[in-house]
Structure formats: structure tokens, C-alpha cells
Amino acid sequence: MAAAAKSVCVTGAGGFIASWLVKLLLSRGQYVVRGTVRDPDSICDFFLDRRYHGPLISDFNLDLIGQGANGSQHQENVLSKPIYLVCALGASKNAHLKELERAGERLQLLQADLLDYSSVASAIAGCEGVFHVACPVPSGRSSNPEVEVIGPAVVGTTNVLKACYEAKVKRVVVVSSVSAVFSNPNWPKDKVFDEDSWSDEDYCRKNEVMQLSLSKAMMLLVQITT
């Protein structure tokens, strides 16, 4: 007799990395995936250059992690590959998720606002594992990054971890970014970045382009201290 499928939650399921994660989990055949999105029926209101075309999931085949690879090699490899259209004007933002194999039987898209604890708790309740991938990323330069980027990232992560604790979730994975560690001008240039390196808070606050780095670092600090 086959074992019962385990329920797991992926926040920000419609995003690029989260979409790949959803695909992987579904392909294993042993998970029911709850994907949180801002609006399951959301329609795209923008259109990217026509040169970037093709399916988001099936055509992008790239091994991002190689033995001994460093950040610059990752970036070079990514930029050497085609970038495909994510969403065309008038299309469903989450259509690519619904077209994944096993999505009809094992994927649930739930509307959730990470700043609303009740909606987060509802999505996570009953799950054995949670992958927190969602993070606020402004489409342009933020006029108030403390309010629009850093604050929501910290509150959202806190809500997810609190909901996981209350629901007695067995495993939690918080997805971060290299930006959480490399924005540190005092880090020795000849030393490899490791778990002791954190983006410098004062440096990030003084440099607007580094605000996302600060938000990622703060997300991880929430995880460590919670």
C-alpha cells in the first residue's frame, strides 16, 4: 500500500525559483503542494520584449550549482542562456504552475498575504514541511525601502516561522540570497564568503542599491533568533 502524500507549503509559488521548486516536489510523486500566491486568478498587466519567448518551466535547463563554482561563474552561466517570457499581457500569472505534471491532483494555489498572519497560518496548517521563498522585490527603485522592502521581508518571515511553530511543522527551509552575505566592504578580498559573513547593515542603508541585500540579511537574522 502506497504511503499517504505529505503536504508541504511553498510561499511565493509563482516566482521563478519557487516555480522550479514546485515542479520538483510534484515530480517526486509523494507530496501535495500548497503554493501561496497573492492572487490565484491574477492576470498580467505588462508585456515583455517579444524576443523573450517560450515556456517558463520546460525549456530552461541549467545546472546552477557546480563543484567549486563561485558567484561570478554562476552569473556568467545564467547570462549566457536565453531568458524566456514570464507572462504576456492578459495571461494568467500562475498558468505555468497549473500546467505542471500532477498539478491537477496535487497542487493547491492559495491566496495569502505574508503580512496577514491568519492567511499564512491557514496555508501552513497541516503541512509537514514549509519552503519560504517569497520576498518583496520592488519593480523599480523604492522611495522608502525601510517600509516597502525591509519591513515586509522581516514581518513576512516572522509570520511564516510563527505559523510553522504553531502548526508543529517538522521542517522549514528559508530561501535566502547571496546578497545577504556579499555587501560587506570590510570582508577580506582574498577570503571566501562563509556563514560568518553578513551584509553590513550601515553600508546597505547608505547605499540604496543594497537595500535588498539588507532585507535578505534581516530575514536570516529573524530565522536564527526566532
Q: How far is CA 150 from CA 142, 153, 179, 202, in A?
A: 11, 5, 13, 14
Task: Answer whether residue 1 is part of any domain.
Answer: no
What's the length of the chain? 226
DSSP annotation of 43: B
Query: Please, what is the Cα angle at 124 between 120 and 168, to 5 degrees?
Result: 120
Q: pLDDT 10s per residue in the chain (226 long)?
A: 567 889 999 999 998 899 999 999 999 999 999 999 988 877 665 544 333 334 444 433 333 333 333 333 333 334 344 444 445 444 577 888 999 999 999 999 999 999 999 999 999 999 999 999 998 776 666 677 778 778 888 899 999 999 999 999 999 999 987 778 878 888 898 998 888 888 887 887 777 555 555 555 555 554 444 4
* CATH number of 45's domain: 3.40.50.720
Integer Rg of the chain from CA:
18
C-alpha span between 130 and 197 (Å, rounded): 26
Task: Answer whether residue 150 is part of any domain.
Answer: yes
Task: Answer whether residue 205 is part of any domain.
Answer: yes
Total domains in the chain come to 1
Q: What does pLDDT average to over the chain?
A: 75
The predicted model scores a pTM of 0.73
Task: Answer whether residue 137 is part of any domain.
Answer: yes
Q: What is the pLDDT of residues 105-121, one digit of tens each?
A: 999 999 999 999 999 99
Under 8 Å between Cβ of 40 and 111: yes
Q: Which cell goes with 122?
A: 491557514
Task: Answer whether residue 204 is part of any domain.
Answer: yes
Q: Which amino acid is at 20?
A: W
Task: Answer whether residue 148 is part of any domain.
Answer: yes
Q: Which cell goes with 123?
A: 496555508
Task: Answer whether residue 114 is part of any domain.
Answer: yes
Under 8 Å between Cβ of 159 and 114: yes
Structural domain span for residue 159: 6-225
Three-class DSSP category at 202: helix
Nearest to 39 by CA among 10, 13, 70, 66: 13
Q: Which amino acid is at 86?
A: V
Q: What share of the chain is helix, strand, coil (3-state, %, to 5)?
A: 40, 10, 50
Task: Answer whether residue 181 is part of any domain.
Answer: yes
Q: Which cell goes with 61?
A: 535547463
